[in-house]
Amino acid sequence: KAGVTQTPRYLIKTRGQQVTLSCSPISGHRSVSWYQQTPGQGLQFLFEYFSETQRNKGNFPGRFSGRQFSNSRSEMNVSTLELGDSALYLCASSTGGLAGTDTQYFGPGTRLTVL
């Protein structure tokens, strides 16, 4: 089974621009979660999509948004980029069900640098 894939792996943008990142989950997984990882704040939850609906949301400004398609692929968008948005953006997929043994598997991440 192929793992979680994320594209692109690296991205350089300038302040004020917007960016779209893509995530393809493991086949059969319907939940995609996005996390931001920075040296100062560690891994912070952005949002989770399940069956094309945002099911959970972290504490990030509205410049961060996402969506999920019918094939469970997900995109996240950051508008009006700020220097502090430079980070590794990770997505994780899971079945998303209520079974007590569901687990999130991570992709390799997209390294975003804002200049």
Partner 1 sequence: GQQLNQSPQSMFIQEGEDVSMNCTSSSIFNTWLWYKQDPGEGPVLLIALYKAGELTSNGRLTAQFGITRKDSFLNISASIPSDVGIYFCAGQRWSGNTPLVFGKGTRLSVIA
Alpha helices in 1-115 (DSSP H): none
Residues 84-103 that bind partner 1 (CB under 8 A): 90, 92, 94-103
The verdict on 49 binding partner 1 (CB under 8 A) reads no
Integer Cα distance of 75 and 50 in angstroms? 13
Judged by CB under 8 A, does residue 51 bind partner 1?
no
Do 73 and 25 contact (CB within 8 A), yes or no?
A: yes
Among 20, 22, 44, 86, binds partner 1 (CB under 8 A): 44
Q: Kindly give the pairing relationship between strand 19-24 and strand 5-7.
A: antiparallel
3-state class (DSSP) for residue 86: coil
The binder of partner 1 chosen from 19, 78, 93, 109 (CB under 8 A): 109
> What's the token pair of residue 111?
């390294």
Amino acid present at 32: V
Taking CB under 8 A as the criterion, the residue among 56, 77, 80, 113 binding partner 1 is 56
Contact residues: partner 1, CB under 8 A: 4, 6, 31, 33, 35, 41-45, 48, 50, 55-56, 58-59, 90, 92, 94-109, 111
